[in-house]
Every structure is written in structure tokens, then in C-alpha cells.
Structure 1
Amino acid sequence: MKKLLVTGGAGFIGANFVHYWTQHYPSDKVVVIDALTYAGNIANLASVKNNQNFTFVHGDICDQNLIETLLTEHDIDTVVHFAAESHVDRSITGPDAFIETNILGTYALLKAAKIVWLDAPKAEGKEPKENHRFHHVSTDEVYGTLSSADPAFTEDTAYAPNSPYSASKAASDHLVRAYHHTYGLNVTTSNCSNNYGPYHFPEKLIPLVITNILHNKSLPIYGDGQQIRDWLYVEDHAYGIDLVLQKGLIGENYNIGGNNEWANIDIVKEISTLVEKAFADDKSLQQRFPDAKAAISANTESLITYVTDRPGHDRRYAIDATKTNNELGYKPKESFQTGIEKTVQWYLNNEQWWQSIMDGSYAV
């Protein structure tokens, strides 16, 4: 039985991981710590809040004393570290929060883990905590950008971050690596491609397109819309992390991708088609979303608006997950088509969740 501390577990990817883990390993203990900033939402964990093996703590990962207390009191053996500021646009206009959370927060977690798992036992004449693991969740953006002809990122690709967000994540990756090589902390790191799925904060591309269509708002496309991303269904990401925790080698990095490269403009058009089909197949949607005029008239692409590209916008990300496939047996279970259909349907079925966020009325 594992005892996990999941940082950022009320956020998009963290909450989906918590759902995955409690479903697949119901006897494991899961402690979530989340600062409940703008992207953290306790409602994301509503389905597990009454689970006897689940504990939620409203706290900041920069609070090293709190982290030490949680690791000790709950006898934590595994940290899965999702907590991060992650929106590139916000990092351009306000990078301070990214430095504080992504770098200093990760540093505080590492210091706490080292003290509780390694230093304290030694001070008491005991062996360091057996089979501990610090798993750090990172991003493909640390590798920089690719041209259309470049091979996909591998774990050996040199880091070349281009935004304050990706630079802060790159710094945290290096700190995790250093704590393994210098102090012997048992660490693994995974670098993932763009996630999508349930509970995705509405400012991100896919949920933004869905909710804007339902409000008949414009669909803003940066530049020419030809920026290419590899898209990973969020539950496949949780599955990949599970495999890293079960089979991954200490000190190693593993790329987790979806094998789904799409240009942003094509993503928008695909979502438009799926929403129009949903409205055509289910006439009740017209009553539920009367403002969705373009969807009702099957003309959602008319909402597309091209806007000035953001500074330093990376052209293409692509993950080569060969190492993870070969060494861990990882393979995404969802194709992009099945995953995006599930995602569109989830947003149609969960209006109260995303509308409360957009209204600013959700609980934090």
C-alpha cells in the first residue's frame, strides 16, 4: 500500500490523477495539498472527498514546515508533484508567481523530502526511508520549439525554454535531478505534452473553444493558427505516471505523449464540428444553450478570429515517447478522436462546473 502526497491535486491534471489513483488503488492513502489559487478548485475532488483514505489540505508547497509535517504525520512514501503555475500568457505578464511556485515551491518540497526521508532517520541512527519516491511532473515546453521538419523531443533533447513558464519548469527539473545526484533522493521526472479532458480550466485552448461556442463568442486564434502541439488525454497521462511509479528507474526522465500532433486551427475546427454534431443529434442542447447561435445554425467556424501572436510563441512541440513505450509498456489508450469526443461531451454535461468558474462563483 502506498501513501501519496499529491501536490496541486485540486488542479486539472492533479485532480484527474487523484480520480485515477483512487479508482485503481482504493486501499492507498492519498493526501492532496493545494493552495486553491485561480486554477485550483475543490469541486474537482467532489467525488473523492468522502473517501476514508483521502485527505485534503489547503496549503502552499512553499511552506516547507507544513510539507515536513504532512510527510511525517501521514507517513508519506511517494510525492507526486503537479503543483505549478502553468499558463504561458500569464507568465509573460506576471512571471513572479511562476518563479515562486515552480522553482521555490519545488525547492521547498525537495528540502522537506530530504529532511524527512533521509536526514531525520540518519540523525536517529536509523536507515533512510525505504522505497521513497519523489515524482516530478514537467512539460515538453522545457525543450523549446521545433520546426515542422525536426524530429520529436526525446529525453536527451537539450533544454531550451523560451517563456518564463517553461524556464521556471526547466529550473525545477534541474533541482529534482540535483537532489538525486547530490543527496541520493529517489526521484523520477516525466515530461508530458499538452493535456486535455475533464476539469480543464476554461482559459486553456480546448475548453475555451467549447465554452466560447456555447456563449457565441469569438474563437481567438494566435497568428496563423499553425502552431502544432501533441495532445494527450489527461487520463492517459495519469496512466503514464502510474507506470513510471511502478516500473520507472530512479533518476530517470520519461516522456509521456499522446502521438497526436495537431495545428491549433485544426483543433478549433474539429471542436466546432463536434459541437455542431452534438446540437444536431440532441435538440435539447438548443434549449439549454440558447446563446449558441452559431452552433445551432451549424456555422461555428464563423466565430474564428485571428489575433496578434503572443511574444515568443513556440511553433511546434512533439513528444517522442519511445523510451516510455519500450521500457514501461506505455501506450495511450485514447486516440485524439475518442478523447476529444469525450471532452466535448463532458463540457456539455457539466455546465455548472465551468460556468461557476467563468462567473467567478466557484469555491476556492
Structure 2
Amino acid sequence: MKLLVTGGAGFIGSAVIRQAVRAGLDVVNLDALTYAACEANVAEVADAPNYAFVHADITDRPALDRAFAEHAPDAVMHLAAESHVDRSIDGPGAFVATNVTGTYNLLEAARAHWVQAGRPDTFRFHHISTDEVFGSLGSEGQFTETTPYDPRSPYSATKAASDHLVRAWHETYGLPVLLTNCSNNYGPFHFPEKLVPVVILNAMHGRPIPVYGQGLNVRDWLYVEDHADALLTVLRRGKVGRSYAIGGENEARNIDLVRTICGILDDLRPEAAPHDRLIEFVTDRPGHDARYAIDPSRIRDELGWRPSVTLEEGLERTVRWYLDREDWWRPLLDRSGVGERLGKTA
């Protein structure tokens, strides 16, 4: 099988590519190399004979057509997206362009390729999305594949739009699609503007650790390597036209997550005072969803997949990785917006 992976130089996309290449699949990484992408994420497989890179933007339809013509993939795994909620508050236009228009372009390029190839039943268009499209939960309940959409941010609204486009291309044109909606990812190669790497890096440098509101927002945390394994499982065995909710079965309040990371650093890099002394509560993000939680019954019961890494194990692995990989994260701190408070516009 030959995969075309969009956004493969990003956090989740690179984890998928590393696993797929190690598994012997032919992989084409199509990435625009925007601010959150990093070619070092795929350095491990960059010289593999079953890996190729295409520098292209999914908003560029002619470039997509050339990529499909040259590489003739058997499947598309669509991970390219603008994904940082705070940036979507400050600049929603980029999210509409990439997440909505870009997905439309990719669907059309994939459909043209699929039709020209004779509409093979084996072709797959796997769209990777987020649980944020479902909105906010109260203290009870979980998201499932049938939860009504209720996006609350420009980011989640554009991802919801892209989900709807993918389903429409399946229903209208018969394109063989798969959809997945995941919970919050964390792990190695996580771009240093997201919560977990911000906490680790700020604590390492003795800087304030910003926690929105009182840190009571709850998220379900999914180790990125587990997510990559789930995505490849869905690609291989998922039912066409079906969606799968992928969760880590690891719910935690943000403040508890932050304190856990601080405790791990206390053990691995002890200082005179505990790292949680650096926690600083800051003004909450506009429209901050209270709680996300996923019921992963469908992927567990139909495909036999479950997460293998507990939150405690995954966080310790992640902290150790950042302690060991200053060569990776240090250059990224100079990129636009990293280290700044974004998304304050109400």
C-alpha cells in the first residue's frame, strides 16, 4: 500500500509516518512546512527507500494534482490542518483557508485520481479530525460517533466543516472515506506552543507556567504513538463511510496534568523548590470548553484497538524526551508566536 499523508511534518502526521515506514508501507509526505512543521520530525525515516517528500500546500490544487499523478497513492491520510485554538481566535482566516478550502481541494484531487484509476474499492480517503467538533461536555457523559456537532472556536468550526465535506463527498460521489475524531494528543515532537510542552519547557527554565482560569477544564489525553497506531488500524480495517472516536481513556483536569508534569520534573531534575511553585493562573481563553471525553467503544469492539499507554507513563516518557532533545525544541522557540500569550481577543 502507498499512503499519501498530508501534514506529515507535523506532530501527529510524523508519528503516523514513522510507524508506517517502519511497517514497510510506501509513504509520501505532503507538507507545506508552515510554522508548526519540522522536517526533523521525520528525520528517522527520511532516507528510507519507501519514503518520499512533496513540498506542497493543500490549498494549491494544481500541486495536489501533480502529487497524485506522480505517486498514485492507494490511500490518503489527511492530517494537514491549522490546529492551535488560540491562533484561530487571533487569525481565523488561515484556519478557513487550510481546514475548509484545503480539505475541499484535497477531496477533489483525490476523487479525480480515484475516478481515473477506475474507482477501485480498495482506495481510502482517511480524514483525521478532533473531538472539539462536538463542543463542550458537563461533568457527565462522553462523546460518541453520533454526538451532535457543536463547535465553539474558529478551529473546531473549521474542522467540523471539513468533516461535513468528507461525509458529503462519500454520500454524493461515492468516495471511499473513513473519519476519526481524537482526543488531546501529547508526546514527543509536540510543537512547543501546546499545553504539555509549554509546561515542560517553562518549568525547565524556571519561568511561570500559565494555567487558564483555575485549571478545571478536563481533557482526555492520548499518547501520540497510540494515536498513530489507531489511525493505521482504522485505515486497514475500518468500514468505509464510518467514523471512529479515538480516546486515551485518560481524563484529567488541566491543573492536575500540570502538577503531574511538575512532579515528574521534581524527580528527574530536582531543584531547591518544587516546580509547581511556578504555576500562575491567567485569564481564561474565550469560549474555553469545559470538558472533553471520548467513549472509544466502537474502535475497541469493531477493530480491537485500545490505548496502551497510561497518562502517567506517557507523561514521564514525554518529559524525558524533552529533557534529552534540546537539539529539537531549541530552534523552534524562535518561531512566530511561540512563547507568547495568544487568543485573548474576546
User: What band does the TM-score fall into relative to the shorter chain?
Assistant: over 0.9
Post-superposition offset of 1:360: 3.9
Post-superposition offset of 1:22: 1.1
Tell me which residue corresponds to 2:255. 265
Tell me which residue corresponds to 1:309. 284
Post-superposition offset of 1:130: 4.1
Counterpart CA distance in 2 for 1:11 and 1:302 is 32
Matched, 1:180 2:177: no
Matched, 1:320 2:282: no
Tell me which residue corresponds to 1:15. 14
Counterpart CA distance in 2 for 1:247 and 1:54 is 23
The structure-2 alpha-carbon separation of the partners of 1:360 and 1:165, relative to structure 1 and needing over 3 Å to count, comes to closer
Post-superposition offset of 1:139: 0.1
Tell me which residue corresponds to 2:314. 339
Counterpart CA distance in 1 for 2:84 and 2:29 is 21
4+ long deviations beyond 6 Å: none
Matched, 1:104 2:95: no
Counterpart CA distance in 2 for 1:130 and 1:3 is 15
Residues 142, 160 of structure 1: 8 Å contact kept: yes
Counterpart CA distance in 2 for 1:130 and 1:250 is 10
Post-superposition offset of 1:338: 1.0
Counterparts of 1:1-364 in structure 2, within 5 Å, are: 2-23=1-22, 25-26=23-24, 28-118=25-115, 120-121=116-117, 127-149=118-140, 151-280=141-270, 296-360=271-335
Larger radius of gyration between Structure 1 and Structure 2:
1
Flag structure 1 segments of 5+ consecutive residues without an equivalent. 122-126, 281-295
Secondary structure of 1:57's match?
Answer: strand
- CA deviation string 1:48-75 (max 9, x = no partner): 1101111111110111121122122112
- CA deviation string 1:168-192 (max 9, x = no partner): 0000000000000000000000000
Letter in 1 for 2:109: A
Counterpart CA distance in 1 for 2:229 and 2:153 is 28
- CA deviation string 1:133-192 (max 9, x = no partner): 00000000000000112x100000000000000000000000000000000000000000
Counterpart CA distance in 2 for 1:111 and 1:21 is 25
Secondary structure of 2:180's match?
Answer: strand
Residues 16, 232 of structure 2: 8 Å contact kept: no
| TM-score computed with the length of structure 1 as normaliser | 0.91
Matched length: 336
Q: Over aligned residues, Cα RMSD in angstroms?
A: 1.1
Counterpart CA distance in 1 for 2:67 and 2:292 is 36
Post-superposition offset of 1:359: 3.1
Secondary structure of 1:245's match?
Answer: helix
- CA deviation string 1:203-241 (max 9, x = no partner): 100000000011111000101100000000001101111
Residues 54, 67 of structure 2: 8 Å contact kept: no
Residues 243, 330 of structure 1: 8 Å contact kept: yes
Residues 212, 284 of structure 2: 8 Å contact kept: yes
Residues 209, 219 of structure 1: 8 Å contact kept: yes
Residues 70, 76 of structure 1: 8 Å contact kept: no
Counterpart CA distance in 2 for 1:49 and 1:175 is 32
The structure-2 alpha-carbon separation of the partners of 1:360 and 1:310, relative to structure 1 and needing over 3 Å to count, comes to closer
Counterpart CA distance in 2 for 1:220 and 1:186 is 43
- CA deviation string 1:227-263 (max 9, x = no partner): 0000000011011111111111000000000000000
